Structures are given as C-alpha cells and as structure tokens.
C-alpha cells in the first residue's frame, strides 16, 4: 500500500469508527527487568558508556522483545503501533555516545514494527499501521537552560532540523506508514521537526500522513514553553497534519478540558492518548484499565476524539479495555471550517483576524528606524531595557509586535535572534504574535528560527523577480508564517492604484497556486507614501492607496491590507499635532475601505470626532486631493497653531472649567488620568446628587464608559485608546473603594463575618484580556453585599467551574470584549451542562447581546442563562436569582420564554437557512446507548382502555391557571407572574382577581350540576424504531400500525444532535422490546353550555366556559400522565410530585402531540384514533383533523429518561418527499398538512 493509499484508507476508517493507538513501550520494557548486559547485547558489549535505560537501543540489541511488545498491543486491539524511537535522534543518543546509530535505530525500529503489523493484519484481515515516533529531544528552543541568561539556548533550530532529518529518513525507509511528532512540550522544537519532515519528503519524493501531539504539563493547559493549546494548533497547522491532539503528562480525567478545546479548534482528526492517571509518590500509575477506558469512553460519547490510546503507565490490558469501550461510539465528525476566513496567528496565545475583527494595531516602537530609544538600547546591548519597550506596547494595546533591527552598524542576524529569545522569556510580551520585519532575508530567517508562535514576515516583494520571490515565500510558508507583500516589482515601486493592484494580484496568485499559501495568510502593503511634499505628483498618493485597498479586497479573496501609517505624514515631521490628525483622518477612511492592520502608535491618535474642525477639513482635503493649495494651507495652519507651551497648556485645560460630570466624562473618553482622582472626590462630596460613593460609579463614570463603547463600536476609537479610558475608569473606581468599604463598616458590617446576599464567581473568559467592565460589575455587586470572587482575565473554562464548585458559588458571570470570547462562553455553557451544574450563568461584555445569548449560549445550558446589559443591571438580575421564594422561578421562566421567542424569530427570519441532507441528519440522530439500557418497564396492560367516570375534583387539582389568564390577556410581570401572584400585580391584579372569582363560581356550578363529563382513552403497545418511524405491535408481536416521524434538519447554532421522536424508542436491531403509550382525553358538555349562554348574548360566560373546559382537558392530560408514570405503566413508581411541579415538566418521559413541534403532522392523529377508538367515548376528529370537542388533548407517551421535547422546525424538499413516500401519500397532500414547516426553496 503506497502512502497516498494509506491516507485514503485512514480517512475512510476514521469516518466509520474511532481508531486505537497502542500503549506505553517504556512501561512494558520496565516489566522485563532488563540488565545492563541485556541493553548492550552482543553488538555493543564493549561500548564505553552505560546503556541501561536507553530503551531505543533495544531495537538493535533485543529486537525480539520489541516485536513481542508490538504484537501484544496489536492483539489487544491497537490500530497503530508506535516505533520504539522516542529518543532516536542524534541529540538524545549523544547522551549514550550512540549518535552515529541514529539512522539505524529508526530504520530498524520501523522495520520491526512493520513486521508485527503485517503479521497481525494478515491474521485478522484488519489493516494496522506503523506510526513512526519523533520525540521532543531533551533540549528546548524556547527556554533558556540558564536563569541568568534568558537569551541563551543550548540547541539551534538548524541542529534540530538536522537531527530530525536523520530520524525521519530512517523511519520512512524502514516502513513507517505515518509520522508522529509527539509529546511536544516546546512548539519550536516541533516546528523544526515539521520543517525537517518536509525537506525529507522533498528529497525522497514521497509524503506520509503526519500526526502531531502536544503535551500540556499541568492544569493550566499550557505546554512547558507556555503556549495555550489553541496557539499550539495554530503554530503547527501549516504542516497540514492529518491528526492533532495531546498525550502524556496528564491522566484522561485531567486531560478532558484540554482535549475538548483541541476538538473545538481544529478541522483535523483528534487523537488523545493520556497516561494511566497521575503518577503516585513512587512514580507509578494506579489507574486500572477499566478506569482509563471509562474516561476515554466519555470523550468518545461526547464526540471529542477520532483516535485514542495510552501513554505512560498503560499496558495491553488498558488498550484492550479502551478498544472495547469505544467500539460502538461514533467518531468525532470533522468540522468543515473553524473560524472560516480568518488569518490565524499566535504567540503564547491565539489571535484571529477576520471580517469581524476591528483594526489591528501593530506596535511600531521595537524598530531601530522608528524609535531612537530602542535603537540606542540595542546598540548598547541593553536588551532587558529594550524589552520594556515591547512590554509597554503590549500593555498599551498593541496586538502584534513589529521587530526591526535593520541598521548598518548592527549584526542583524545575531541581534534579531537575541531579541526574539529575550521576548520568549517574557510571557507578558510573548503572548502576542510577532511581525519579523527586515529587508534582509537572512535576518527574517533568524527570527523565524527562534519563534514558536505563528508570526508575520514583513516583507517580500517581486523587485528581484519571480524566482527570488517564490524561493523566499516557500521558506516562509515552511516556517508557518503569514507574509506581507510590498507593492514592488522589477520595474519599481507602484504609486497609482491600478499598478499597486496589478503587482498584488500577480503576487497573490503566485503565493496561492505556486507556493500553496492560504489566501488568509497574505497581507498586502500597497505602499503608504508621503503626501504634501510640494511635488504635485505626490498629491494623489492617499487616494491611490485607498482605491488600491478596495481593488484588493474586492478581487483577492482572503487577502489583508496593512501599511506603515507614519509614512503618510512624513513631510510634517516635527509638527506632531498635525501628523497625528493626518494619521487619524487617513486611518478613519482607510479602515472603512478595508484596511485590516497597520504599524501605528495608536495610543497617540486623537479621536476623529475631536479633531479641530479647521484642521480636519485641511486633512480631508489633502487626503482626497480636493484643494491644489492644500499643502500650503496646512503649513500655514501648523505655523499659526505652533504656540507656546504655556498658551497650549491653557487651551488644552479649558475642559477643566466644565461641570464635574463633564470633566469626568471628558477624562474617561480622552484617557486622561491627571485629575481623575480629584474630580472623582469632588463628585463624591456632592451628597445631594450622589448620596453614596457607588452612585458616582453608576452615573457619571458609567456614562463616560458608555460613550467609549459607542465610539469603539463606530470605529472612531482604537483599542489602545479604549484601554487608556479603562485605566482612567479603574483609577476612579479605585479611589472610591475605600469609601465604600468605610460605608459598610459604618453599617456595622464585619467583612470577615458578615452574611452575604450570595457568592458570585466572575471572570473574563479565555482568549480575552479586557476586564474593566467586569471590574465595575464586581464593585457594584460588592457594594450590594455580594461576595464577588474575581478570577481575572484569560480564565480557562475549567478554572472557572472548579472555583465555582470550590466556593459554592450561587452565580457564575462571564465577561468578554472581543468576538472570539463569544465562542468560549458557549464552551463554558456546554461544560456546565455536561457536569450537571445548575448555577445560573450570567453573560456580559461589549460584544455580547441578548440575541446572541438566547440563540448561541442558552440552548446549551438547561439552567438559567441570562444576558446582563451593564453593571447597573447586574444587581437587579442577581437579586432576582437569589430570591428564595417562587419569584425566582417566575423570573427565570420569564427569561426562558423571552429567549425562546427570540430564537424562534431568529430562525424563522433567517434568509439563508442551512439544512443537512436527510442522511447527514440521521447520522446525527439523538444518541442513546441501547446496549447499556436495561429496558423499559412493561406496562400493566397491552391494548386500550376507556375512562368515563373521572372525578372532576381530582382533575381540578392539576389545573394550570396561567394559560387561563392568558386567554383574558392578563399577564403579570415579575415578581407577580403566574398564579396566584398575578393578583398582586399593580396593572392587572384586580382584573385577574375578578376573572378568577367568576371562574370559581362557574366551576362550582359545573360541578354541582354535573354539566361537564371528563373522559379519556389510554393504550400501551410494544414498539421498536425503524429509522425515523416507530413500528407498533400487540403483545404477540403482530404489527398494528406505524407512527411516522420527522427529523430536525435545519442547522442551528453549534448543534450536536438532530432528533426525531423515533430516537427515544429502542431500534429493531437492538433486539430490545420497547413500549409506547397513547392517549386522548376530552371534556364533554361545554358546547351545550356555551350555546345556552350565547342565546342569552352572554359572550363573557361563553368564553369563560370554553376557557375552563380547555383547562380541565389539559389538567386531565396531566393527571393521566401521572397515573401512567406511577401506575398504569409504572416506570417511575417512586415519583412524588405536587401538581404544580408537573406543569414544570420535572418528571421522566414526555407526551408530544401530533400537530405540535416534536411531530408537526396532524395526520398522525389518525393512527392514535385507529388504535384507541376515542370515538367510542365521544372524542372525534373532523375532516381537518381538529379534535371535537374543542377541549380535548391527545398524544404519545415516551418513557425513556433521556427523552425530551424539541422542535422539528423547517424541513427541506428532500425530507418532505421521503416522508410522503414512507407514508404512502402524495407529496402535494403531505405538503398541505406540513405547509408551515416546509422550506420549498431547498
């Protein structure tokens, strides 16, 4: 089987089942208790160094042992066995003075594994595979071995590439089917391995599937070199691995949140082979095969993995248990795209640049040409001080750091390597991606070879011709970097829009077609050139640049646009107020045109809306070349406004004469902290306006932050400016905190002893570093006697939930500013549901909304999930959730109904509905493991029974009065929602009391005169599901009827299952005998009473009768369901539930009705009537299949504990035709009955 066939065979198998890796080679070797002589064997008997512990050498000295271990794992069920080559590099073998054997070790190990694989493949008929293992070595490119020398490395990228080249050659030529770069604790090492593998593929003219497996060293979820798992995926994605995942360091239970994160963030197959738990005090592993298999099975059941196995401490027994546990589980389905259309970069943390990303600020100060201070420090070798410049930029909001050391007096290669190594030693800087910036490609390569993240290279161009361009581009792609392309070619620099675009288009297709670049990784710099130079031909440079952006964004899909903004105003150097205004105007329009990022000192930019109107007009005229005298006029403006520092300061301080509220607002919006403490104190002392310190926060300070949010959203403010505003706000709040604490003390509250209103854990979610809004919420809640535990920023899901459990939190609050935060919030909600948590979840932050919470987050968590607009609303929401009376339930029910309405409106109004094919939807049916299901309890009878003497008193207890008030359009609001609290509602309470009183009088009359008769039919039958339908049998197995089902097909947000009611009944192939129930109940006599009232023109009483009859029919349906659960079927005999709780569906099982969301087809009533004959007791169907009397209810009982109500929603023509064919009906007839759910456009 050649290598292309291997990949195709793997993809086919992985689409059908979960595949299994082997377990630990080292654990099995240890069991052999080999001696030094065993390790040496005959060949190395006289070797001058000890070899005990060098497991890899056994492939040469004791090959039979290694082959036997492989065979044990293969016979246990492993699909892949790893070669015994974890340390078979020249680097690792140098410790034993065996580096000269590196190639042979790899070749022999692969050959031995291949022999074992072929032997078992032939014996079983199931194809097995050899995974050539490339370990991490015992050196690291990203971490210095010397604390005193953070820039020092004891290995180079080139040395690692050389070592991995030898290893990869030996593995491939020895017969490996797959190359596995594993146990990655430093992604830079892995990038060297991947670089070497690509070189070997080219040299040998072959390719193999690549697996990449990282190692998170502790519960932080980071590698030893500090990368988050998402960043690790981004850093290695350029190698296009077939599978990615995690192994070693942790047991399966501890690894779960991290493998879940991998699964959510890759389109590759996911592999996971954890240790057998965590080592005990003796370094041994205590987790049994059953325990490990149980954990891994839960991964499989939740759709997280495609390949599973074991690492340290696992044995063939573990692998056998794992293989058995996952054999019936479906493999994880590969997402078609993750953050489609995004450029993915990373340092220690991920960064995504997509269509919803705001302008990206590339920090410009680590550039010897742009910062005199940086240049001086680098020339003097003061790298640690230079590092502070980088740190300041990140703290000020730079999302990417530009590093440029091009200077004739510097050794660029050495300086770039040294400074990047320094950056790697400082996590607060290295968390962001770098832009390696140099016109010397050797310097670019030096930076790439030191960097574990995924960076940008700035830049290459076509000025040296196509071949030079392609050569450099291939190297950049092989390192996994994105690239900036300048609009230069062999002729020179492009100045007009047409030629800028022409060059960019040429480069774009060379990169995409010839080099294999993802178009999202291409950034064009169409040359921001200096205007207002006095030369007429330069006057159009601004317009030409903006026009070129539009051409690029329209015609070159995925490409980004960047540029060095300071060039634009270079002719006004030294006149900073003019330059800054020019930059602000230029960026305002360039960003609107589609400019994605730029090298700019954004923290110094004025707000576009705050530029002096005269200066603004001059800058606009210059940019758009509207005024031939524009340059001269701007010079005159600059000269006339170049006033003394004293006058300028006086003019600048004019805002100090405004009211304290206006001053606070101005300071926050402008990011000026000079007077913020004094102004905040002045406001605090205004007791008539602000009786409490908290009021200062809630009113003037929050107003300022609201303005910041509006400007940011409108693109008139940049992230660094927002961060400056947040710091001013934080300083103001910090001043007020001692006064708020003193206020508590004055109220005799002992902070350490007092009883809180509740405990709230809040955090900014992983991937987001913005916390000012969250901090304000914390202050506001704290001032209202809530114990707030603030976990800070970038908080992983598992940390949030662990802390919430640890402190017994009453509420969890999640915050985020940037769009990726929203995805992380969804993940937290899912994990809370998986863990069975019931703590309310609050969602807040600039990018969040009620609609997003309702549509994207709330469906994944069954407990209250509520969007909180801002800090001022947080206390109201938390107070409602902490209310121990039934008010809380009313409040959450209100929210639940409101969010359901939002969801329905959202999906009903979607113009671009997406549907799965029917086959795809069926593949994603609701999963129940019927092999573990003990079977449904048999009902007490099979067949039907009629009930005609039902006690009205028994039924009345089960009336749900809320819909009764809805009939009369009487709706109380929280906290006076529902019966009986509606009577307290200020708006509708009195009317509700009157209507209810009338209802009670009429109900008494009905009972006394026996005017109503409550009747019902009930039936139970054997049943099995057959696809989307349910076959119904009598007790002897004779087929009586078929109930037909409709399956969810329209794609909703992040949907795991596409259910059909048949999913809740054991399938025929399971061999289980299952059951279903049916019922029809009604209230007779209402029509006669209504007619008598209508003859008297008493419409009020007629409506009242209909409303009561309807409530009684629903009440009997509820009562009968109770009797079914506890008696007639008896699958939950222990149920003890108050009638009011039955309305909240807190019981096991469901009773969906034909014509309603879970089965929207009214014609299914015909089957119920065929089996139950409700006509015999007076409940009939009209031609339109309406039940008569109108006060009637029918449905189907499902008993499975996992059954739940759902809405089928819209279906497409494919399912419509399939459903009609199954029912033996015409498509036209079925479409008439299903017209409200048919999407005929698909």
Active site (annotated) includes residue 47: no
CA–CA dist 621, 634 (Å, integer): 10
Cis peptide bond prior to 1007, omega within 30° of 0 = no
Cβ pair 452, 188 in contact under 8 A: yes
CA–CA dist 1065, 1097 (Å, integer): 51
Beta strands in 732-797 (DSSP E): 758-764, 786-790
Catalytic residue among 437, 539, 768, 1029: 768
Cβ pair 494, 488 in contact under 8 A: yes
End-to-end C-alpha distance for the chain, whole angstroms: 42
Place of tokens 């906290």: 975
CA–CA dist 568, 603 (Å, integer): 17
Catalytic residue among 88, 424, 562, 821: 821
CA–CA dist 140, 135 (Å, integer): 12
Which sign does the torsion angle of CA 1052, 1053, 1058, 1059 carry?
A: negative
Tell me which residue of 414, 475, 472, 469 sits closest to 447, measured CA to CA.
Answer: 414
Active site (annotated) includes residue 673: no
| Overall residue count recorded for the chain in this entry | 1242
Active site (annotated) includes residue 821: yes
Query: Rg of the chain over CA atoms, in angstroms?
Result: 36
Residues facing residue 251 across a β-bridge: 275
Q: Max CA-CA distance within the chain?
A: 117
CA–CA dist 563, 544 (Å, integer): 14
CA–CA dist 783, 770 (Å, integer): 22
Residues facing residue 360 across a β-bridge: 597
Helices (H), 762-886: 772-783, 797-807, 820-834, 850-852, 871-882
Strand pairing of 1187-1188 and 1180-1181?
antiparallel
Q: What is the DSSP letter of 410?
A: S
Cis peptide bond prior to 1189, omega within 30° of 0 = yes
Q: Provide the phi-psi class of 1130: left if phi over 0, else alpha when psi is between -120 and 50, else beta.
A: left
Contacts of residue 836, Cβ cutoff 8 Å, sequence gap at least 6: none
Cβ pair 231, 199 in contact under 8 A: no
**To 10 degrees, the CA torsion angle through 732, 734, 735, 738?**
150
Which sign does the torsion angle of CA 346, 350, 356, 361 carry?
A: negative
Residue 684 burial (CB count, 10 A): 18
Q: How far is CA 1231 from CA 612, 908, 1166, in A?
A: 65, 18, 17
Catalytic residue among 770, 867, 1162, 1200: 770
**Strand, helix or coil for residue 674:** coil
Helices H / strands E in the chain, number of each: 46, 31
**Strand, helix or coil for residue 522:** strand
CA–CA dist 1082, 962 (Å, integer): 20
**Strand, helix or coil for residue 369:** coil
Residues facing residue 131 across a β-bridge: 82, 178
The tokens of 585 are what? 């105007």
**Strand, helix or coil for residue 456:** strand
**To 10 degrees, the CA torsion angle through 603, 604, 610, 616?**
-130
Cβ pair 5, 13 in contact under 8 A: no
Q: Which residues are catalytic?
A: 768, 770, 821
């Amino acid at each position: 089987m050649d290598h292309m066939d291997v990949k195709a065979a793997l993809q086919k198998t992985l689409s059908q089942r979960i595949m299994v890796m082997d377990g630990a080679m080292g654990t099995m070797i240890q069991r052999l208790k080999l001696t030094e002589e065993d390790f040496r064997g005959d060949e190395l008997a006289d070797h001058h160094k000890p070899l005990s512990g060098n497991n890899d050498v056994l492939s040469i000295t004791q090959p039979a042992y290694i082959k036997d271990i492989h065979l044990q794992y293969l016979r246990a069920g492993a699909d892949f066995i790893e070669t015994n080559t974890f340390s078979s590099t020249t680097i690792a073998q140098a410790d034993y003075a065996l580096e000269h054997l590196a190639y042979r070790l790899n070749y022999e190990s692969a050959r031995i594994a291949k022999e074992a694989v072929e032997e078992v493949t032939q014996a079983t008929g199931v194809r097995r595979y050899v995974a050539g293992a490339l370990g991490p070595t015992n050196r690291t490119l990203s971490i210095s071995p010397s604390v005193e020398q953070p820039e020092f490395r004891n290995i180079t990228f080139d040395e690692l590439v050389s070592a991995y080249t030898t290893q990869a050659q030996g593995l491939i030529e020895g017969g490996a089917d797959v190359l596995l770069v594993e146990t990655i604790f430093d992604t830079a090492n892995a990038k060297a391995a991947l670089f070497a593998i690509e070189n070997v593929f080219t040299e040998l003219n072959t390719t193999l599937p690549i697996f990449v497996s990282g190692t998170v060293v502790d519960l932080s979820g980071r590698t030893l070199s500090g990368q988050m798992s998402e960043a690790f995926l981004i850093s290695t994605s350029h190698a296009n691995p077939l599978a990615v995942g995690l192994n070693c360091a942790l047991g399966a239970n501890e690894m779960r949140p991290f493998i879940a994160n991998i699964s959510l963030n890759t389109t590759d197959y996911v592999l996971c082979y954890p240790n057998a738990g965590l080592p005990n005090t003796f370094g041994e592993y205590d987790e049994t095969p059953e325990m490990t298999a149980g954990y891994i099975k839960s991964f499989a059941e939740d759709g997280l993995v495609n390949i599973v196995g074991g690492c340290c401490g696992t044995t063939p027994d573990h692998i056998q248990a794992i293989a058995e546990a996952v054999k019936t589980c479906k493999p994880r389905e590969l997402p078609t795209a993750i953050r489609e259309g995004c450029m993915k970069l990373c340092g220690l943390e991920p960064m995504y640049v997509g269509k919803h990303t705001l302008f990206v600020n590339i920090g410009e100060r680590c550039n010897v040409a742009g910062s005199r201070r940086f240049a001086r420090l680098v020339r003097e070798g003061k790298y640690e001080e230079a590092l502070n410049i980088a740190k300041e930029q990140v703290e000020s909001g730079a999302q990417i750091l530009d590093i440029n050391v091009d200077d004739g007096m510097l050794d660029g290669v050495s300086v770039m390597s040294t400074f990047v190594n320094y950056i790697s030693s400082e996590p607060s800087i290295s968390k962001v991606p770098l832009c390696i910036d140099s016109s010397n490609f050797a310097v670019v390569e030096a930076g790439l070879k030191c960097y574990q993240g995924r960076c940008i290279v700035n830049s290459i161009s076509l000025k040296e011709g196509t071949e030079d361009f392609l050569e450099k581009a291939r190297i950049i792609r092989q390192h996994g970097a994105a690239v900036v392309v300048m609009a230069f070619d062999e002729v020179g620099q492009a100045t007009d829009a047409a030629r800028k675009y022409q060059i960019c288009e040429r480069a774009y297709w060379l990169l995409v077609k010839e080099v294999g670049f993802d178009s999202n990784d291409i950034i064009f710099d169409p040359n921001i050139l200096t205007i207002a130079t006095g030369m007429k031909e330069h006057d159009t440079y601004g317009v030409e640049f903006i026009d070129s952006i539009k051409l690029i964004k329209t015609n070159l899909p995925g490409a980004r646009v960047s540029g060095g903004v300071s060039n634009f105003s270079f002719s006004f150097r030294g006149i900073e107020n003019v330059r800054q205004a020019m930059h602000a105007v230029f960026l305002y329009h360039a960003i609107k045109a589609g400019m994605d990022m730029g090298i700019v000192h954004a923290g110094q930019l004025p707000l576009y809306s705050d530029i002096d109107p005269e200066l603004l007009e001059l800058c606009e005229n210059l940019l758009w070349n509207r005024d031939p005298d524009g340059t001269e006029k701007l010079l005159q403006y600059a000269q006339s406004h170049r006033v003394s520092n004293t006058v300028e300061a006086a003019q600048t301080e004019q805002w100090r004469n405004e009211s304290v509220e206006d001053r606070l607002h101005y300071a926050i919006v402008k990011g000026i902290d000079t007077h913020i403490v004094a102004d905040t104190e002045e406001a605090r002392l205004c007791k008539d306006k602000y009786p409490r310190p908290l009021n200062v926060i809630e009113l003037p300070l929050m107003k300022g932050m609201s303005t910041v949010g509006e400007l940011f959203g409108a693109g008139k403010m940049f992230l660094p400016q927002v961060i400056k505003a947040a710091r001013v706000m934080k300083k103001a709040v910090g001043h007020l905190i001692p006064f708020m604490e003193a206020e508590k003390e004055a109220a005799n509250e002992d902070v350490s002893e007092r009883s809180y209103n509740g405990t709230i854990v809040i955090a900014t979610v992983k991937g987001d570093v913005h916390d000012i809004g969250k901090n304000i919420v914390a202050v506001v809640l704290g001032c209202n006697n809530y114990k707030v535990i603030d976990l800070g920023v970038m908080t992983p899901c598992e940390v949030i939930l662990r802390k919430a459990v640890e402190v017994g939190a009453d509420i969890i609050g999640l915050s985020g500013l940037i769009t990726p935060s929203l995805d992380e919030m969804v993940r937290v909600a899912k994990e809370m549901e998986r863990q069975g948590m019931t703590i309310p979840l609050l969602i807040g932050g600039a990018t969040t909304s009620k609609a997003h919470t309702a549509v994207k987050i709330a469906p994944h968590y069954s407990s209250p999930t509520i969007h909180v607009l801002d800090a001022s609303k947080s206390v109201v929401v938390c107070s409602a959730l902490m209310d121990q009376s039934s008010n809380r339930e009313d409040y959450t029910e209100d929210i639940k109904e409101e969010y359901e309405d939002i969801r329905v409106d959202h999906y009903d109004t979607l113009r671009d509905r997406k549907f799965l094919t029917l086959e795809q939807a069926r593949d994603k049916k609701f999963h129940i493991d019927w092999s573990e299901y003990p079977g449904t309890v048999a009902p007490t009878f099979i067949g039907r029974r009629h009930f005609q003497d039902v006690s009205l008193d028994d039924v009345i207890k089960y009336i749900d009065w809320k819909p009764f008030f809805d009939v009369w359009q009487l709706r109380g609001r929280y906290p006076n929602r529902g019966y009986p609290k509606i009577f307290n509602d200020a708006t509708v309470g009195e009317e509700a009391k009157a209507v209810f009183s009338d209802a009670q009088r009429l109900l008494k009359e009905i009972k006394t005169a026996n005017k109503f008769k409550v009747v019902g039919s009930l039936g139970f039958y054997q049943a099995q599901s057959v696809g989307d339908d349910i076959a119904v049998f009598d007790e002897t197995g004779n087929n009586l009827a078929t109930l037909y089902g409709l399956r969810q097909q329209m794609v909703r947000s992040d949907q795991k299952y596409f259910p059909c009611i048949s999913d809740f009944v054991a399938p025929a192939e399971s061999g289980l005998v299952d059951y279903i129930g049916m019922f029809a109940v009604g209230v007779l006599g209402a029509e006669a009473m209504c007619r008598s009232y209508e003859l008297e023109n008493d419409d009020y009483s007629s409506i009242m009768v209909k409303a009561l009859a309807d409530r009684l029919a629903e009440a009997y349906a509820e009562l009968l369901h109770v009797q079914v659960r506890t008696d007639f079927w008896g699958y939950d005999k222990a149920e003890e539930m108050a009638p009011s709780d039955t309305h909240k569906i807190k019981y096991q099982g469901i009773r969906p009705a034909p014509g309603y969301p879970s089965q929207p087809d009214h014609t299914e009533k015909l089957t119920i009537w065929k089996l139950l004959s409700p006509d015999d007791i007076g409940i009939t169907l009209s031609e339109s299949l309406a039940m008569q009397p109108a006060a009637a209810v029918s449905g189907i009982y499902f008993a499975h504990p996992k059954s739940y109500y759902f809405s089928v929603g819209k279906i497409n023509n494919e399912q419509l035709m399939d459903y009609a064919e199954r029912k033996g009906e015409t498509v036209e007839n079925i479409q008439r009955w299903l017209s409200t759910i048919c999407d005929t456009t698909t």
